[in-house]
Amino acid sequence: MRKPAMAMKTALFVFLLYVLHCAVCRDVTLPTGPLYRVAGFPLSLPCVVSGYEGPRTQDFEWFLYRDDSGGRQMGVVSTRDKGFPYAPFQARVRNGEVRVERDSGEAVRLVIQRLRAEDQGNYECYTPSTDTVYQGNYSNMVTVKVIPDTLQISYSRALTGQPVPEGAMLTLTCSGSIRSQQLTHLSITFGKRGGGDSSGSGAGGEVSTVREIISIDKMLGIVPGHSYKKRYDDGEITLEKRNGEGGQGVYVMRMKAVRPDDSGSYFCEASQWILDPDRSWQKIAQRMLDIGNLTVQQLAESLSITSSPRGEVTLQVGSPLILTCEVLGLPSEVNSGLLVQWMKRGSVRSDAVVAGGVEVEVARMSTDGIVSWGDDLSRANGGSMEKVAEGKYSLKLFSARPVDTGVYRCVVSVYAGRSNPGSSTPATLTQKSEGVIVNLKTKDVAVSAVAQLPRGPLLKRGNTITLICNATVKTTGPAQVQVQWLRWPIPEPVIRGSVSDGAPPDPPVVETPRLIAALMHDGVVNIHSNGSEVSVDRLSAISYRLRVHQAAIEDQGMYACHAEVWGQDPHGGWYYTGVKAESNALNVYLYARAGDLLLIPLVVGVSSALFVGIIIIATVTCCFMNRLAKQRARK
């Protein structure tokens, strides 16, 4: 029973010893082969040693067993011995074309800058022993196959450096091909050197920045360059692969609308990739091709906006106002979207002439040709905005009115290279024309207004208030009067003044008149009162009547009428001439009804009796006390 147990223990001990022992065995690691590399391009072989004793910085020696050498070993390069390389490698080692690069004490790389066909074979990485006991593996081998360089790249049309207008489309085409026995992949990158300094590196001066624009990677995925990501996402930059003749890949990069900072020197670069046995992708060949220089001409340098007529125009009211906007210096080869706006500053509003003020939009034509009108929608009926020729836009107000006076300006926003930009796309450039001053001469118009309360019995509550407004117009040609009645409370400054004792008097309260009713120039009546019934009518050519039926106490107040003169233009349209008159104010006071009046004597009687009583008491008290005081003083 004890013997097998002993045997097992011994076996376990031996195994443990082996494991412990071999945990510190030297091992040399190389990538798994075979590795296919392209002639003329670099070979980089990493070699790592582990499980060694002695100094941390280990020495390495590289040997090559050429296929045709019948197993003969050839010294390539060593980290410790300058005389190590065999004749074929001596010159290449001396000029650094073949070398060992050290990554750490225990990891190096054999680098052959330009592989030659005769470099094919088995490479051995050997580490001289620094161990107390010779244990483990002191070298390792990897097979390197040198394949011919078949990577080809070409472009179909070079950039000449001739200025290209901002917004133009840029198309670059590169073709690439590889003919390899091995399965290798091709990647293509379009890039740019120098030109636009959008990175804004504060140092200034000529910094040759290389930027990747867009790539098609080894797995055929499209990858935009860092600073081009937004434009790629917006669909402004595309890259497409087509199948060309003889298995060639044709790669077409498009920039929809070039910008000034796209100026620079363009190139395309093709890379050949292979999947190594350790499943890592390695770039084994690369070739770059200059396509040429791009110079982008800024739109701002050529664009100009003019409007005609220029300077100042004076028109008769009712005559047409025609303004034309011309967009000059748009490159014809670029299909740009235009937003054209007519703006106006200053006008005659219905109550006052406003100089300066904000600029308002009269009308606009969007990039898709749709015309919309600004706030004053009445213009839309009497006006038009049209594209009369390429780059020429007209604004027509068929019958100009006094409100149309002001300074007109044409504002053009250019969306270079985008005939139908999205609503979030900013304009490439916005420019304004010089202003055109438009004056309108009105006919000589004069108006006066008189308001009158017809004679009659005193107005009492419940009666009908009647007000006559006579508006007299002196003008030539057809005219109409628009009449408004207004009311505001009867001012009461005396009462307010007597109440205040010592305190500064209140500023007079300005009550804004309230519009009661209006008779429009076209005969339409507008009633604005919501209390008593109100009616408005025209009694004669100049007389207009306002009646407030069943007048209540709230209908008391100051009344006045306003008369505005409207003229008719030759096309039959009515317009406000800007001429108006205000009538005198009428005080409308409503007396109490007979029933209410009965109360007055009673109230007066009681209050006067009280008054007399107080006077008597006061006089008696005062005089009697005075006399008493005098008598005491004499004593």
Ligand X SMILES: *[C@@H]1O[C@H](CO)[C@@H](O)[C@H](O)[C@H]1NC(C)=O
Single residue of 50, 209, 452, 466 touching ligand X by CB under 6 A = 452
CB-neighbour burial class of residue 283 (10 A; exposed 0-12, middle 13-18, buried 19+) = middle
Asked if 540 interacts with ligand X (CB under 6 A), we say yes
Least distance CB 78 / ligand X (angstroms)? 22
Within positions 258 to 287, which residues make up the interface with ligand X, using CB under 6 A?
265
- Least Å distance, CB 560 to ligand X, is 13
Choices 42-50, 73-81, 498-506, 537-545 (CB under 6 A): range interacting with ligand X: 537-545
**227 counts as binding ligand X under rule CB under 6 A:** no
Query: Could you say which of 243, 381, 530, 631 contacts ligand X (CB under 6 A)?
Result: 530
Q: Which is nearer to ligand X, 93 or 471 (CB)?
A: 471
The 3-state secondary structure of 183-201 reads CEEEEEEEEEECCCCCCCC
Q: Which of 153, 140, 142, 149 is nearest to 187 (CA)?
A: 153
Give the pair of three-digit tokens for residue 9.
Answer: 């223990």
Contact 536, 515 (CB under 8 A): no
To ligand X, the closest distance from the beta carbon of 457 in angstroms equals 19
Distance CA 591, CA 593 (A): 6
Closest alpha carbon to 167 in 302, 323, 363:
302
Give the separation between CA 120 and CA 229, rounded to whole angstroms: 42
Strands, E assignment, 390-511 = 392-397, 406-415, 429-432, 436-441, 446-452, 465-474, 479-488
614 sits near ligand X (criterion: CB under 6 A): no
Residue 543 as a binder of ligand X (CB under 6 A): the answer is: yes
**CB closer to ligand X out of 113 and 543:** 543
Which residue type occupies 8?
A: M
Nearer to ligand X, 342 or 544 (CB): 544
DSSP one-letter code for 513: P
Binding residues for ligand X, rule CB under 6 A, total 17
Q: Using CB under 6 A, which residues numbered 361 to 420 contact ligand X?
A: none
Q: Which of residues 292 and 491 has its CB atom nearest to ligand X in the complex?
A: 292
Q: Are 555 and 565 spatial neighbours (Cβ–Cβ below 8 Å)?
A: no
Residues 109-148 that bind ligand X (CB under 6 A): 136-137
Tokens of 338: 């235009």
Binding string, 27-66, against ligand X, x = CB under 6 A?
Answer: x---------------------------------------
* 472 lies in the site for ligand X, by CB under 6 A: no
Say how far residue 76 (Cα) sits from the centre of its chain: 63
Q: Which of 144, 129, 142, 147 is nearest to 40 (CA)?
A: 147
Among 120, 139, 187, 293, binds ligand X (CB under 6 A): 293
Q: Least Å distance between CB 302 and ligand X?
A: 23
Query: Within 160-179, which residues bind ligand X (CB under 6 A)?
Result: 161
Asked if residue 470 binds ligand X (CB under 6 A), the reply is yes
Distance CA 47, CA 31 (A): 8
Angle at 87 between CA 85 and CA 93, to 5 degrees: 50
Element (H, E) at 354: strand 353-365
Task: Between 28 and 397, name the residue whose CB sits nearer to ligand X.
Answer: 28
Decide: is 194 part of the binding site for ligand X (CB under 6 A): yes
CA–CA–CA angle 85, 88, 89 (5° rounding): 40
22-30, 143-151, 324-332, 583-591 -> range binding ligand X (CB under 6 A): 22-30
Q: Is residue 25 near ligand X by the rule CB under 6 A?
A: yes
Catalog residues that contact ligand X under the rule CB under 6 A.
22, 25, 27, 136-137, 161, 194, 265, 292-293, 450, 452, 470, 530, 540, 542-543
